[in-house]
Amino acid sequence: MKMLGDLELQAKPLLLMDIDGVISLWGFPMDVRPPGAFAVIEGIPHFLSTRAAEHLLELQDSFALVWCSGWEERADEHLPHLLGMPKGLPHLAFDRSRADVSRRAHWKLDAIDAFAGPDRPLAWVDDAFNDACHAWAARRSAPTLLVATEPPTGLVDEHAARLRAWARSLGVRPPA
């Protein structure tokens, strides 16, 4: 797991980004697909949202971006050059034994807790929250925002506006 620099960890809330259903979209009608392009990554076709990438580039002024996806280190191997994102973003590493995760839990929560700790403000963007995620967010001592996306559209303008407003509510001011 790659760590952020101390200054960045102290200055900005974390923005935990899932990929599938947030940046890599599916389920949209092919005749009205969102802005983006198909790319083959490790033999698998993905439709990558250029709008989500634009939002992430903008949001990095207010957040410390972290990949929170089963892609793990592969996110940094493939996405920067495909989306125009910076290389070297940290990623979470997950326990591969997801079989023991029940409906009362979510397979990403242990890794998020290990990375962020209980006192780090964070926003988490994902398309697959369950009740355990909402209960976990409510129990955290630090401000926590869950932003749910839909796989056909991913990270859209309204989500980005909500994230910017939330960061401002924490006192984060992006550079002018």
Asked whether the predicted pLDDT for residue 5 surpasses 60, the reply is: no
**Domains of the chain, residue spans:** 6-169
What average pLDDT does the segment 54-74 reach? 95
The mean of the pLDDT values for the chain is 89
What average pLDDT does the segment 130-135 reach? 93
CATH 2.20.28 is held by the domain 6-169: no
What average pLDDT does the segment 162-175 reach? 92
Q: Could you give the CA distance from residue 175 to residue 62 in angstroms, rounded to a whole number?
A: 8
Nearest one of 28, 33, 67 to 50, comparing CA atoms: 33
Could you identify the residue written with the tokens 């033999």? Answer: 43
Q: Per-residue confidence at 173, pLDDT binned at 50, 70, 90?
A: confident
Q: Could you give the CA distance from residue 47 to residue 26 in angstroms, rounded to a whole number?
A: 7
Give pLDDT tens digits for 74-114: 999 999 999 998 899 999 998 766 555 544 568 899 999 99
Give pLDDT tens digits for 32-43: 889 999 999 999
**CA dist 133 → 67, 98, 116, 126 (Å):** 17, 16, 15, 10
Q: Could you give the CA distance from residue 122 to residue 2 in angstroms, rounded to a whole number?
A: 17
What average pLDDT does the segment 14-27 reach? 97
What average pLDDT does the segment 19-30 reach? 95
Could you identify the residue written with the tokens 């796989």? Answer: 151
Please tell me the least confidently modeled range out of 15-29, 97-111, 114-128, 142-156.
Answer: 97-111
pTM, two decimal places? 0.89
Asked whether the predicted pLDDT for residue 73 surpasses 60, the reply is: yes
